Amino acid sequence: METAKLEQKEFEPTILAFCCNWCSYAGADLAGTSRFEYPTNVRIIRVMCSGRLDPTFILSALRWGADGVLITGCHPGDCHYVQGNYMMERRFAFLKEAMGQLGIEPERLRLEWISAGEGEKFAALIRDTTQKIKQLGPNPLKAT
Amino acid sequence: MSEEEPKIGVFICHCGVNIGGVVNVPEVVKYAKTLPNVAYAEANIYTCSEAGLASIKENIKKQGLNRVIVASCTPRTHEPLFRSACREASVNHYLFEMANIREQCSWVHKHQPEKATEKAKDLVRMAVARATWLEPQEEPELEIKDTSLVIGGGIAGLTAALSLANQGFKVYLIEKDPVLGGNLRRLSKLYPTMQDTQDILEPALKAVKSSDKIETLLSTAVSDAKGYVGNFKVTLAKGEEKRDVDVGTIVVACGAVAYTPPKGLYQYGEYPNIMTQMQLDEILKEGKVEKAPERVVMIQCVGARKGEIRAMDLAGFPKSDTARLLGKILKAKKEEGWPYCSKICCMNAIKNSILIKEKFPQTDVMILYGDVRVYKEYEDFYSQAREAQVKFVKHIEEIPPEITQTPDGKLAVVAYDALSGQEIKLPCDWVVLSTPMIPHKEEVLLARMLKIPISSDGFLMEAHIKLRPVDTQMDGIFLAGAASGPKDVPESIVSAKAAAARAGTLMANKKMRTEALTSVVNEDECIGCGLCEEICVYGAHYLEEGKSHTIAALCRGCGACAAECPRRAISMQHYSDEQILSQVKAALTEES
């Protein structure tokens, strides 16, 4: 009985994914049309470009209890807006460092490039990220 | 948030069994009704059906809804349909939002119906939170001037100018050289028909000359460009003389040039009679060969399919640093060669070898190659060369052939035969280097002025290689001919006609609407640091009197400026901080 209860309460992380309208959001759609299954832990927010993502969006997500944040954009050279993904990449480096200083495991934040044709990669990424965040456990900011 | 109290209607789609077979739709409807600002919620079998759309319109009226959410499939396919339903019922279509509960929920979680239902509820809650913050937007309408500028007077530029003139538009055709014709002026004959270049060039030149719609400006280049689709102001320079033209569209047909190897590469420039294919073309065109050569050796892929330069390197350069960028590109190219296959060189070498054989049947012609890339009917063309006794020798490319001069003043090529692995020594009279078509060095400057990105190969980049092959990232600017990569004559003509058709369509409509997803500067917060101006690849920001301003027609709505602004003085219409953050918060907490 006890074990059954414990199993029921297995940690289910909440992961927030930011997808750009032109590549990675389309890649996520393709995962759906191709019926590639993945865990239900991810909530996708569509933005026009990964370059739109103000670092405060990510920090706010962590403050509000996201166990993981996934940023996805077009592959280098493929950005619909030429170089938005490079700008995000720079902010990503800074964010990782800031997270370390704030006592949040930097591994909770991930940046990946997904093209509109990479439905399978998207599904695999969600599976992998969910697995990794599960291992990390809940966001330490959640308890405070 | 707009002043009106939000009254949100939520329409949740079963999509037959696509969503309804996994997600418990009635439960999601029940949940939606409990959310703040939701005035109405219902389920539809297919929200995109006539009945579904009618229900949206009817309930906008009946319930007094001022925001609409459809929870169904992806906005990438169905948003325009639902937006127009909103418009028809007098709700601004920017007050519409979608929750993707099919592609990103039911279809990927079909074995977890309960969790999928919970996720669908979250996605609806996130959409409601965002919808609360949505604001109506007006899409600016632009006038499109019915005049076009064609840059480049090669076969692509001539074709594009003629096509536009035939559609009834005024055309400025500019050419940086003192004559029209481009590369075709230097070539002798064209593969695979062996037609004389004049047969193609002369009629085009005549037609351009006699057209009263085309104004040709020679020895003229673009020195500055401002404006946006429909309303470009381009400064043309002829030496010191400058002139502004106002045009609605621009066709870039600046072409490409044959790569000239640096002195010493394959001993080019060190001995006479080592030439490029282009120089051989000129010799054959002039027909002034004093003595038939005993043997001609051609070497393929000289300076092609080697070396590397990536778009990343280009993107990192600030606009002010064009000169250094140019230097870097040219240096990299010179030392390492160009990374791509130039596609036309195999056919061109075959053509020239056949021409030599026709003229001097006794001459031995050998082609040293790594790969022969002939496609479609060019395979026959290759066979034709073999039948004419042209010898194709696959050599080991990693060991570049060495060319020396023999005591009798002839040349000798030493290469490694890939099949036997043996060194071969080929005494010969001429060595012909097949070099790739490469971008003009002025192209980088042109790209910067017109704000067109450059591809990893250094050519101007199309908006989408498959779906929009002659469009650029900049509305109203199109690419024709070899400006976007190596092309032969038929391909140049096809792309020129396509570019002219795209430009013509825009101008024939006289007006266009652009999406309202643009940046807006809060002047009270702006400190005039100019970062937005520096990072915007579209040139949509400019500083005036210490404040940044947005040119809405240039802004594409990526939002990079809003994210970079140190004062948070820039807001994105339809993707504001509040709108995004409300979604983030709703995803993570039950409050909104």
Put simply, the answer to whether A52 touches B572 (Cβ < 8 Å) is yes
* Beta-carbon pairs below 8 A across chains A and B: 139
Q: How far apart are CA B92 and CA B86, in angstroms?
A: 7
The amino acid occupying position B576 is S
Comparing B303-312, B380-389, B513-522, which segment has the lowest mean pLDDT?
A: B303-312
Element (DSSP H or E) covering residue A3? helix A2-8
Give the pLDDT score at B477.
97
The pLDDT of residue B307 = 60
Q: Is A45 on the interface with B (CB under 8 A)?
A: yes
Q: Rounded to whole angstroms, how far apart are CA atoms B242 and B515?
A: 35
- Distance (Å) of CA B264 to CA B237, B269, B270, B330, B368: 36, 6, 6, 17, 19
* Mean pLDDT along residues B331-338: 58
Q: Indicate the pLDDT class of residue B3, thresholds 50, 70 and 90.
A: low
- Counting runs of H as helices and runs of E as strands, what totals does chain A give? 5, 4
SS (H, E, C) B175-219: CCCCCCCHHHHCCCEECCCCEEHHHHHHHHHHHHHHCCCEEEECC
- Residue from B558, B513, B470, B551 nearest B232 by CA: B551
In the DSSP assignment, the letter for residue B105 is I
pLDDT digits (tens, 9 = 90+) for B523-562: 999 999 999 999 998 889 999 999 999 998 889 899 999 9
CA dihedral B201, B204, B208, B209 (to 10 degrees): 60
The Cα angle at residue B101 between residues B99 and B102, in degrees rounded to 5: 130
- Residue B577: list chain A partners with CB under 8 A: 54, 56-57
Contacts of A23 in chain B (CB under 8 A): none
A28 to chain B: which residues are within 8 Å by CB?
103-104
CATH number, domain with residue A106: 3.40.50
Tens-place pLDDT, residues B151-176: 999 999 999 999 999 999 999 999 99
Q: Would you call B537 and A82 a contact, using CB atoms and an 8 Å cutoff?
A: yes
Whether the pTM exceeds 0.80: the reply is no
User: Does A26 sit within 8 Å of B76, measured CB to CB?
Assistant: yes
| Residue-level pLDDT at B538 | 86
Number of alpha helices (DSSP H) and beta strands (DSSP E) in chain B: 16, 30
Q: Which chain A residue shows the shortest CA-CA distance from B590?
A: A64
Q: Does any CB of chain B come closer than 8 Å to the CB of residue A21?
A: yes
Q: What domain count does chain A have? A: 1
Contact B501, B492 (CB under 8 A): no
Q: Residue B414: what are its φ and ψ, rounded to 5°? A: -110, 120
Confirm if B533 and B548 have CB atoms less than 8 A apart: yes
Q: Does A80 touch chain B (CB under 8 A)?
A: yes
> What residue of A is the nearest CA neighbor of B101?
A32
Q: Nearest CA to CA, how far is A2 from chain B (Å)?
A: 23
For domain B265-305+340-435, the CATH class is: alpha beta
Q: Specify the pLDDT at position B335.
A: 52
Question: B109, A61: Cβ pair inside 8 Å?
Answer: no
Mark yes or no for CB contact B103/A65 under 8 Å.
no
Residue A142 placed within a domain = no
Q: Which candidate, B298, B343, B373, B300, places its Cα nearest to that of B457?
A: B343
Chain A interface disruption, residue of B19, B556, B558, B564, most A CBs within 10 A: B558
- CA B107, CA B111: separation in Å to the nearest integer? 9
| Residue scoring higher pLDDT (B496 or B306) | B496
Q: What is the pLDDT of residue B327?
A: 58
Altogether, the residues listed in chain B come to a count of 592
Question: CB under 8 Å to B206, separation ≥6 — which residues?
Answer: none
Identify the CA nearest to B314 among candidates B438, B460, B481, B472.
B460
Which residues from B are below 8 Å from A123, CB to CB? 108
Q: Between vectors from CA A67 to CA A66 and to CA A73, what angle results, nearest 5°?
A: 75
Q: How many CA atoms lie within 13 A of B582 on its CB side?
A: 20
In the numeric block, the tokens 């520096």 are attached to B534
- Are the C-beta atoms of B141 and B482 separated by less than 8 Å? no
Average pLDDT on B477-493 reads 96
- State the number of CA atoms in the 13 A half-sphere of B502 facing the CB: 25
Which residues of chain B does CATH 3.50.50.60 include?
Answer: 147-258+438-512, 265-305+340-435
* A106 to chain B, closest Cα gap in Å: 19
Residue B520 DSSP one-character state: E
Say how many CA atoms lie within 13 Å of B167 toward its Cβ. 23
> What are the Cα distances from residue B90, in Å, to A66, B1, B98, B136, B275?
38, 19, 18, 11, 70
CATH number of B147-258+438-512: 3.50.50.60
Q: What is the CA radius of gyration of chain A?
A: 16
Q: State yes or no: pLDDT of B572 exceeds 50.
A: yes
* Amino acid occupying residue B36: P
Q: Which residues of A touch B119 (CB under 8 A)?
A: 40, 43
User: B508 by DSSP, 3-state: which?
Assistant: helix
Chain B touched by A52 (CB under 8 Å): yes
A59-101: per-residue pLDDT in tens?
A: 999 999 999 999 999 888 778 788 899 999 999 999 999 999 9
B232-252 residue pLDDT tens? 999 999 999 999 999 999 999
- CB atoms near residue A143 (< 10 Å): 7
Whole domain around residue A69: which residue ranges? Answer: 13-137
Neighbours of B167 (CB within 10 A): 18
Say if the ipTM goes beyond 0.90: yes
User: Is the CATH number of domain B519-573 3.40.109.10?
Assistant: no
Question: Side chain identity at B200, as an amino acid letter?
Answer: I
Amino acid of residue B230: G
Q: Which positions in chain A touch B581 (Cβ < 8 Å)?
A: 57, 60
Q: How far is it, in rounded angstroms, from Cα A101 to Cα B562?
A: 25
**CATH 3.40.50, chain B: domain bounds:** 8-137
In total, chain A counts a number of residues equal to 144
Q: How far apart are CA B373 and CA B370, in angstroms?
A: 10
Using only C-alpha atoms, chain B has a radius of gyration, in whole angstroms, of 31
Whether B108 sits inside 8 A of A81 (CB atoms) is no
Residue B528, Cβ density class (10 Å: 0-12 exposed, 13-18 middle, ≥19 buried): middle
| Mean pLDDT for chain B overall | 91
Chain A residue numbers with beta carbons less than 8 Å from the beta carbon of B456 are 77
Residue of chain A with shortest Cα separation from B583: A45
In the structure, what pLDDT confidence band is assigned to residue B320 with cuts at 50, 70 and 90?
very low
Three-state SS at A23? coil
- Separation in Å, CA of A33 to nearest CA in chain B: 6
Is position A3 within any domain? no
Q: What is the mean pLDDT of residues B68-84?
A: 95
Handedness of CA B138, B139, B144, B148 (dihedral sign): positive
Angle between helix B577-588 and B113-133 (nearest 10):
150
Chain-centre distance for alpha carbon A18: 6
Instruction: Decide if B301 contacts B373 (C-beta within 8 A).
Output: no
What sections of B393-456 are H helices per DSSP? 442-450
Bond preceding residue B192 cis, omega within 30 of 0? yes
Q: Give B-chain residues touching A114 at CB under 8 angstroms.
A: none
Q: Write out chain B residues lying below 8 Å of A56, CB-based.
A: 577
Ranges A34-43, B14-23, B85-94, B411-420: which has the least confidence = B411-420
C-alpha torsion B553→B557→B563→B565, nearest 10: 10
Q: Give the pLDDT of residue B311.
A: 37
The helix or strand, by DSSP H or E, that contains position B383, with its residue range, turns out to be helix B378-387
The architecture (CATH level 2) of B8-137 comes to 3-Layer(aba) Sandwich (3.40)
Q: Which residue out of B588, B589, B590 would a mutagenesis test of the A interface target, given it has the greatest number of A Cβ atoms within 10 Å?
A: B588
State residue B512 phi and psi, 5-degree precision: -150, 155
- Which of B489, A142, A139 has the alpha carbon at shortest distance from B481? B489
